[in-house]
Amino acid sequence: MNKTKINKVVLAYSGGLDTSIIVKWLQDTYQCEVVTFTADIGQGEEVEPARAKAKAAGVEEIYIEDLREEFARDFVFPMFRANAIYEGEYLLGTSIARPLISKRLVEIANKVGADAISHGATGKGNDQVRFELNAYALDADIQVIAPWREWDLSSRESLMDYAQKHGIEIDYQKQNKKSPYSMDANLLHISYEGDILEDPWAEPEDDMWRWTVSPENAPDKAEYVELTYSKGDIVAINGQAMSPASVMEDLNQRAGAHGIGRDDIVENRFVGMKSRGCYETPAGTVMLKAHRAMESLTLDREAAHLKDELMPKYANMVYNGFWFAPEREMLQAAIDQTQTVVNGVVRLKFYKGNVIVVGRQSDNSLFSEKIATFEDDQGAYDQKDAAGFIKLNALRLRLKSL
Separation between Cα atoms, residue 99 and residue 188, nearest integer Å: 14
Same structural domain, 277 and 143 = no
pLDDT value at 87 more than 50? yes
pLDDT of residue 179: 64
Relative to beta strand 62-66, strand 33-40 is: parallel
Residue 60 lies in a domain: yes
Neighbouring C-beta atoms of residue 110, cutoff 10 Å: 13
**Does the annotation place 20 within a ligand binding site?**
yes
Distance in Å from the first CA to the final CA of the chain? 75
90, 263 Cβ separation under 8 angstroms: yes
Q: What type of residue sits at position 34?
A: V
Same structural domain, 208 and 351 = yes
Separation between Cα atoms, residue 90 and residue 71, nearest integer Å: 18
Separation between Cα atoms, residue 103 and residue 324, nearest integer Å: 10
pLDDT of residue 247: 98
Residue 397 lies in a domain: no
Residue 369 lies in a domain: no
Q: For the residues 1-15, what does the mean pLDDT come to? A: 85
**Does the annotation place 18 within a ligand binding site?**
yes
Model confidence pLDDT, tens digit, residues 100-113: 999 999 999 999 99
Same structural domain, 164 and 118 = yes
What per-residue string of b and e applies to 10-37 under the rule 16 or more CB within 10 Å gives b? bbbbbbbbbbbbbbbbbbebbebbbbbb
pLDDT value at 2 more than 60? no
Separation between Cα atoms, residue 300 and residue 363, nearest integer Å: 14
Same structural domain, 131 and 266 = no
Same structural domain, 145 and 246 = no
Show the domain range for 91.
Answer: 8-174
Query: Of 180, 203, 201, 202, whose CA–CA distance to 192 is shortest?
Result: 180
- Give pTM, 2 decimals: 0.94
Q: At which of 123, 143, 174 does a domain end?
A: 174
CATH number for the domain harbouring residue 356: 3.90.1260.10
pLDDT of residue 45: 85
Cite the active site residues: 18, 98, 127, 182
Query: Of 228, 191, 198, whose CA–CA distance to 86 is shortest?
Result: 191
**Does the annotation place 12 within a ligand binding site?**
yes
Would you place residue 3 in the very low, low, confident or very high pLDDT band (cuts 50, 70, 90)?
A: low
CATH number for the domain harbouring residue 165: 3.40.50.620
SS3 381: coil
**Does the annotation place 90 within a ligand binding site?**
yes
Residue 74 φ/ψ, nearest 5 degrees: -100, -10
Q: How far is CA 106 from CA 70, 134, 280, in A?
A: 16, 10, 30
Q: For the residues 273-298, what does the mean pLDDT come to? A: 98
Same structural domain, 219 and 74 = no
Task: Spell out the alpha helix ranges (H) of 299-368.
Answer: 301-320, 326-338
Model confidence pLDDT, tens digit, residues 305-353: 999 999 999 999 999 999 999 999 999 999 999 999 999 999 999 999 9
Q: Give the number of residues written for the chain.
A: 402
Q: Which helix (H) or strand (E) holds 360?
A: strand 354-361
Model confidence pLDDT, tens digit, residues 51-78: 999 999 999 999 999 999 999 999 999 9
* C-alpha 144 chain-centroid distance: 23
Same structural domain, 225 and 108 = no
Q: What type of residue sits at position 382?
A: D
**Does the annotation place 39 within a ligand binding site?**
yes
Relative to beta strand 182-185, strand 143-145 is: unpaired
Would you place residue 46 in the very low, low, confident or very high pLDDT band (cuts 50, 70, 90)?
A: confident
**Does the annotation place 16 within a ligand binding site?**
yes
Q: For the residues 119-133, what does the mean pLDDT come to? A: 94
Residue 234 lies in a domain: yes
Q: For the residues 110-127, what does the mean pLDDT come to? A: 95
**Does the annotation place 295 within a ligand binding site?**
no
Residue 252 lies in a domain: yes
Number of domains in the chain: 2
Residues 6 or more apart whose Cβ sits within 8 Å of residue 310: 82, 331, 334, 335
Same structural domain, 47 and 142 = yes
* C-alpha 385 chain-centroid distance: 47
Same structural domain, 142 and 205 = no
Same structural domain, 213 and 255 = yes
Residues 6 or more apart whose Cβ sits within 8 Å of residue 349: 222, 223, 224, 225, 355, 356, 358
Model confidence pLDDT, tens digit, residues 203-232: 999 999 999 999 999 999 999 999 999 999
Residue 377 lies in a domain: no
Q: For the residues 190-198, what does the mean pLDDT come to? A: 95
Separation between Cα atoms, residue 142 and residue 208, nearest integer Å: 38
Task: Spell out the alpha helix ranges (H) of 191-281.
Answer: 244-256
pLDDT value at 289 more than 80? yes
Residue 22 lies in a domain: yes
Separation between Cα atoms, residue 150 and residue 119, nearest integer Å: 12
Residue 38 lies in a domain: yes
Same structural domain, 165 and 217 = no
Same structural domain, 62 and 204 = no
